[in-house]
Amino acid sequence: MKKQAPVKKTKKKGLHKNDGPAKMREDERLFRTLTEGSLVGIYVVQDGQFQSINPNAASYYGCTPEELMGKKSNSIVHPEDKERHKQCAIDMLKGRRSSPHEFRIISRSGDTHWIMETVTPIVYKGRPAILGNSMDITERKRAEEALEKREMELEVKTHELEDMNSALRVLMKQRDEDRNELEQKVLTNIKVLILPHMEKLRNHVDLQGMSYVNVLGSNLRDIMSPFAQKLSVTYLNLTKREVQVANLMKEGKTSEEISGFLNISVSAVNVYRYHIRHKLGLSKKQNLRSYLSSLS
């Protein structure tokens, strides 16, 4: 019987009893290289404690990474945000949440910072851990709060202006009512206390005195007539004399009567009538007195 040649034992390449720890040390060096230069905060939390943290994340708290190693990760979270922060992290780790969550931390100096964070489950040194990525959004939050405060101030100012406008409208309405009441009293007093005596005076004065009485009567009618005020405002291009003539025409006075009231010639009255018609844009077919009466 032939002797079987002994089987040569071959070593598997790449295997060594120290390959496990060496690989871990290499992974840690790679992790530090990637995280230390990162612009975001990166950290590993295991058993609730920081096991690795880059300088950017440590700066939120105002210290070095070495000072935070082994420290409870929730110890820097604002007391009012602890429960919400914990629940958001759990939801994200279980896949129930994908968007970053925001919370506050209290730095070593006592300042409050706003942090935006995402967390992912990982295996670190052969055991379950949490990988956190975060950013300090304090400046953004301050800008949002300032904007919100400004919007609230503007809303308050808007309500105040609305209240002031309402009060102003009430005052304007009251002013108009008071003015109308005053005008009515003046008109009533002139009609009752003055005009009757002027009519009697016409029978007791000479021709020159009659002219004065007519002028006085005309001026009183200007004061009395809301029509005169309306006409002068609506048609600002009418002269004062044209408004007087228009007022007397509206009352049904003839050219001769207007001439006597204003102490001007009849031909002058007719010229004023022509100017009034022209300025009001009336055609020859339109009745001037009817049109003037419609304005009162």
Delimit the domains of the chain by residue range. Answer: 22-136, 139-197, 205-296
121 DSSP β-pair partners: 130
If you count them, how many residues does the chain have?
296
Query: Given this chain, do its domains 22-136 and 205-296 carry the same CATH topology?
Result: no
Q: What is the mean pLDDT of the chain?
A: 83
Residue 14 has pLDDT above 50, yes or no: no
Instruction: Summarize the confidence of residues 275-291 as an average pLDDT.
Output: 86
What integer pLDDT is reported at residue 137 of this predicted model?
Answer: 93
Give me the pLDDT at residue 105, please: 94
Q: Rounded to an integer, what is the distance from CA 120 to the centroid of its chain?
A: 42
SS3 13: coil
pTM of the shown model:
0.47
- The pLDDT score that the predictor gives to residue 16 is 46
- What's the pLDDT at 200? 80
Q: Report pLDDT for 24.
A: 60
Give pLDDT tens digits for 96-105.
Answer: 999 999 999 9
Whether residue 7 has pLDDT greater than 70: no
pLDDT at 225 exceeding the cut of 50: yes
3-class DSSP assignment, residue 288: helix
Q: What CA–CA distance (Å, rounded) separates 225 from 47? A: 95
Instruction: Strands of 75-226 (E only): list them.
Output: 101-106, 112-124, 127-136
pLDDT band at 39 (very low <50, low <70, confident <90, very high): confident
User: With pLDDT > 70 as the criterion, what percentage of the chain qualifies?
Assistant: 81
| Residue 133: pLDDT over 70 | yes
205-296 has which fold? Arc Repressor Mutant, subunit A (1.10.10)
Residue 234, pLDDT score: 56
Q: Report d(CA 276, CA 238) in Å as an integer.
A: 7
Q: Could you tell me the pLDDT band of residue 296, with boundaries at 50, 70 and 90?
A: low
Query: What pLDDT is stored for residue 46 in this prediction?
Result: 95
Cβ contacts of residue 191 below 8 Å, gap of 6+? 224
Look at 186 and 140; give whichever has higher pLDDT: 140
Distance CA 12, CA 15 (A): 6
| 43-80: pLDDT as tens digits | 999 999 999 999 999 999 899 999 999 999 999 999 99
pLDDT at 15 over 50: no
Q: What is the mean pLDDT of residues 226-231?
A: 58
More confident residue, 10 or 31: 31
CATH 3.30.450.20, domain 22-136, yes or no: yes
